[in-house]
Amino acid sequence: MPIVLWVALGGAVGASGRYLVGVWATRLLGHGFPYGTLCVNVLGCFLMGVLVEAAALKLAMTQEMRAFLTTGVLGGFTTFSAFALDFAVLSERKANLLAWGYLGASVVLSVLALFFGLWLVRMVLQ
């Protein structure tokens, strides 16, 4: 099967996961803040760190599997385009403190989660 079909399949899986996390977060935490988007961005970055480091150190992955998991599943799961829209909506509602808090939390927590994923795999696999 061509790689682009693996990416498309992974994207469907990731996007479905993103939707389910968004529904869960809204039910659990409410809809006044984009908790679902924040959760998937942080979790997606953590999983990307784990996956990339595990593949580099231990896992033998085909090009198809890597494309399926990284570009497909995690690309479909993480939501930086939705992140930008959420920021704009909060800004247009004049919820500037929430908007900038959301931006800072999304960026800082996502990057920290990626580094934590890298570190975790290094500790476990080395």
Q: Are 87 and 103 in contact (CB under 8 A)?
A: yes
What kind and span of H or E run contains 57? Answer: helix 35-57
34: containing domain: 3-125
CB under 8 Å to 38, separation ≥6 — which residues? Answer: 25, 102, 105, 106, 109
In tens, the pLDDT along 14-46 reads: 999 999 999 999 999 999 999 999 999 999 999
Summarised one tens digit per residue, pLDDT across range 92-126 is 999 999 999 999 999 999 999 999 999 999 999 98
Q: Report residue 81's pLDDT band, with 50, 70 and 90 as the boundaries.
A: confident
Helix (H/G/I), strand (E/B), else coil: 95: coil
Number of structural domains (the chain) is 1
pTM to 2 decimal places: 0.82
116 C-beta neighbours (distance < 10 Å), count: 16
User: Which 3 state secondary structure label does DSSP give 4?
Assistant: helix
